[in-house]
């Protein structure tokens, strides 16, 4: 498998730059809020049910044996907050996120901040918008008008992916497919994974509400009292031409690497639109590096995520604790929505 074109020192330096910019934005738009996928449509509980007929070569990590794990599932918008105290409307173009946290997971973990969890993080598009961590810097340069014509032209595929992802018509987060976009280990193999709903999306107009995605989940799980089911699917690496590891902008086509079902996700009908659940939602940290070593993320983008996600979560939690432990005057906090 091809390795990243960035050296270890380049990777580290660029990651530190992206992290610094992210922390600055988080400070300006709300230190106690998430910088990554800040707007939640709901945190719900369910089960991750590992299949009993998985091919032997795929029986690794959490898929080693038939088992049912309790899970938390968070649905979100990818875009950062519009400004302090205000999220972007669901009617605006945006990627939609799905984060799954398995609990009671035994085994050696890549990070030591959570002992018995396994996170899977996905969005509603099969490819990522940059090839490596340098892409974050380059796309920011173009967006701010600081790029030369050559770089601007080179980044057009990234903007095309962002536009295609954001313009997808989504009426209910429970009714769409999600992809990992980036590759992960499955023991000695490289894989990508996807979560596909068993319930079908019906053609519908988009409601005239800034929070219609949250409202759709509430209607489905609470008012209509229905369970939601998803298939957890994996694709196995074939070769660098068809399934490249270091280019998450290229889709792993199903005809080249067919999806294999390894688990079922069941989200029970439930009430979740209340303050205590929202506090839990805001306190949780989802990170692709909350993982067993058998499922570690691979590739430049995922390596950058390791530090960025962990540091942003640490900063957010420290801000919350600091405000409770030693309150600051309003002139310093400035937490009024603007």
Q: What is the pLDDT of residues 193-248, one digit of tens each?
A: 999 999 987 766 788 899 999 999 999 999 999 999 999 999 999 999 999 999 99
pLDDT at position 203 is 63
The per-residue pLDDT for 338 is 65
DSSP 8-class letter at 289? T
For 206, 255, 291, the CA distances from 191, given in Å and listed in that order, are: 34, 15, 14
The pLDDT score that the predictor gives to residue 132 is 86
Q: Are 33 and 320 in contact (CB under 8 A)?
A: no
Q: What pLDDT shows up at residue 258?
A: 98
pLDDT in the model for residue 196: 98
Could you give the CA distance from residue 75 to residue 46 in angstroms, rounded to a whole number? 13
Residue 2 has pLDDT above 60, yes or no: no
Alpha carbon separation from 218 to 40, 71, 282 (Å, rounded): 12, 18, 18
Can you tell me the distance from the alpha carbon of 159 to that of 180, in angstroms, rounded to the nearest whole number? 19
Read off the tokens for 338.
């603007």
- pLDDT-wise least confident of 44-53, 140-149, 167-176: 140-149
**Stretch 77-104: mean pLDDT:** 90
Q: What is the mean pLDDT of the chain?
A: 89
For the chain, the structural domain boundaries read: 8-333
The rounded distance, in Å, linking the Cα atoms of 70 and 116 is 11
Instruction: Quote the distance between the C-alpha of residue 130 and its chain's center.
Output: 15
Distance, in Å, from the CA atom of 176 to the CA atom of 171, rounded to the nearest integer, reads: 9
Q: What mean pLDDT is predicted for residues 278-295?
A: 93
How much is the pLDDT for 8?
A: 81
Domain spanning 8-333: which superfamily? Answer: Catalase core domain (2.40.180.10)
pLDDT at 4: 58
CA distance 323 to 329: 10
What's residue 54's pLDDT? 96
């Amino acid at each position: 498998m091809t390795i990243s074109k960035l050296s270890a020192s380049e990777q580290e330096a660029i990651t530190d730059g992206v992290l610094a910019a992210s922390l600055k934005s988080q400070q300006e738009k709300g230190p106690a809020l998430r910088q990554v996928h800040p707007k939640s449509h709901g945190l719900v509980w369910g089960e991750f049910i590992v299949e009993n007929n998985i091919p032997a070569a795929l029986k690794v990590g959490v898929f080693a044996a038939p088992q049912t794990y309790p899970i938390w599932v968070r649905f979100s918008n990818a875009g950062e907050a519009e400004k302090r105290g205000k999220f972007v409307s669901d009617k605006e173009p945006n990627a939609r996120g799905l984060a799954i946290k398995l609990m009671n997971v035994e085994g050696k973990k890549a990070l030591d901040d959570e002992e018995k969890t396994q996170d899977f993080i996905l969005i509603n598009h099969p490819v990522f918008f940059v090839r490596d961590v340098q892409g974050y810097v380059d796309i920011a340069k173009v967006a701010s008008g600081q790029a030369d014509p050559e770089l601007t032209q080179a980044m057009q595929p990234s903007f095309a992916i962002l536009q295609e992802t954001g313009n997808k018509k989504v009426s209910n987060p429970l009714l769409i497919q999600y992809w990992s976009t980036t590759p992960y280990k499955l023991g000695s193999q490289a894989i990508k994974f996807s979560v596909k709903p068993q319930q079908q999306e019906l053609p519908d107009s988009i409601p005239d509400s800034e929070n219609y995605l949250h409202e759709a989940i509430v209607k489905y799980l609470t008012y209509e009292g229905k369970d939601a089911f998803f298939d957890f699917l994996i694709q196995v690496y074939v070769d660098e031409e068809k399934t490249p590891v270091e280019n998450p902008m290229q889709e792993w086509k199903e005809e080249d690497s067919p999806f294999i079902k390894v688990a079922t996700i069941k989200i029970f009908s439930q009430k979740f639109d209340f303050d205590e659940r929202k506090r839990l939602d805001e306190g949780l940290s989802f990170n692709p590096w909350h993982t067993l070593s058998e499922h570690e993320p691979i590739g430049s983008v995922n390596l950058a995520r390791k530090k960025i996600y962990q540091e942003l979560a640490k900063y957010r939690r420290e801000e919350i604790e600091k405000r409770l432990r030693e309150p600051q005057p309003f002139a310093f906090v400035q937490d009024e929505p603007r």
